[in-house]
Structure 1
Amino acid sequence: MKKVDRRIRKTRKAIITAYLSLLEEKNMHAVSVSDITERADINRATFYAHYEDKQQLQEQSIKEILDDLEEAIEIDESGERSAEFSLTMLHEIFQRMFENIYIHREFYAVMLGEHGPSIFAEKLQDIIRTYTQKGLEVVHVKDINLIVSPDIYLSYVTSAQLGVIHYWRKHQFKQSPVFMAEQLLMLYKLGGATVAEYKE
């Protein structure tokens, strides 16, 4: 893959940082290219040399962040690794997920915040669901047979993971990725009723 020039990376980072800071104040529709260029301390020609418009800026920045997340949580579906798929591997995946989110925490903080575009949370949820399903297919050798509806299970655990990510964001990512991975694994392993100590 062609390496992006350092000056280009620096300019794009300034543009994205400016855009994120503006999204902390107002939604995308209220943010103009002029707002972004003024905040980034660049001229409009420089902005348009990198992006067609603010929509492309948003789409590309979201794609880059979520592509990086997908790479971090990729599941090895080879026969050798699938036979070893376990709670230990799930813990590793959770830890990689939280570590990746932590690296990009400023982006997640804004995109999952009050003025963040809903499409980001939707795409994030789709990724979580896809990789949760992949994990099930590895464990069950593609023939998923659960004691509850697989679709309901996927909906439940996907929402749970996204909810934990939202919790982490709302608490300014204070807990470590290791701690968050352990907490999520415990919820997976024991289930909500066991953790809450409900009586029969």
Structure 2
Amino acid sequence: METVTKIDRRVIRTKEAITKAFLDLFTQKDLEHITINEIADRANVNRGTVYLHYNDKYDLLDKLIDDHLNKLTSLCDPDGKTPLASELLPVFVYIRDHFLFFSAMLSTARAAVFRKQLLEFVSLRVKEKLDRHNTYSGIDCELNAQFMASAFVGIVEWWIQRRLPHPPEYMAEQLRQLFEKNEVYPTQA
């Protein structure tokens, strides 16, 4: 049983090294110019190890994006009963803790692809939460969700581009206040 644990830890460390190497390269050059050899060299593994875990660099990028969006989903309250600031805080903490990934995704030529996926992800979660509150504010629910998602993604981009000038707690509270001040999100009772 201990052997399995050691293998799992090695696999995790190897994937982390590959991911870090890829993200380092991704911040320096276009995806089209990154090679598997470069990733393997930076990760201190051979090419075959990279191919053992990923089909190609596009598969690696897709899996990274999916993994981070799934982790963000797990931080969201599925019942919609958590106050907004309490729900935003773990999201900002996660973004801070995975700064390299979000920085690479939002500050490169391929940022538009990730930004679109992030916008769709946030918009869907916000719309679900707004639908559960079932309050009529006179604002179309889908438009409200798009507005909030765009505001959230824009603030995250600003925060990352400025290298996290405020702690996650501050960011979550400020965003909550902005949404409530602009009456785009129902105030929790």
Structure 2: 5+ residue stretches without partners: 184-189
Partner of 2:186: none
Partner of 2:138: 147
Identity %: 26
1:105 partner amino acid: F
**Number of equivalenced pairs:** 179
Tell me the CA shift for residue 131 of structure 1.
1.2
Is 1:126 the counterpart of 2:120? The answer is yes
Instruction: Provide the C-alpha distance between the structure 1 equivalents of 2:86 and 2:110, rounded to a whole number of angstroms.
Output: 29
Tell me the CA shift for residue 17 of structure 1.
0.5
Partner of 2:62: 59
Matches within 5 A, 1:8-157: 8-76=11-79, 81=81, 89-140=83-134, 145-157=136-148
Partner of 1:198: none
Q: Is the 8 A contact 1:25 1:115 kept in 2?
A: no
Q: Is the 8 A contact 2:127 2:142 kept in 1?
A: no
Partner of 1:6: 9
2:86 partner amino acid: E
Structure 1: 5+ residue stretches without partners: 193-200
Q: Is the 8 A contact 1:24 1:115 kept in 2?
A: no
Tell me the CA shift for residue 102 of structure 1.
1.4
Instruction: Provide the C-alpha distance between the structure 2 equivalents of 1:182 and 1:137, rounded to a whole number of angstroms.
Output: 23
Tell me the CA shift for residue 116 of structure 1.
4.0
Cα deviation 1:112-161 (Å, max 9, x = unaligned): 11244533222211111011111111211xxx633122232222111111
1:124 partner amino acid: L
Given the two structures, how large is their TM-score scaled by the length of structure 2?
Answer: 0.87
Q: Is the 8 A contact 1:23 1:116 kept in 2?
A: no
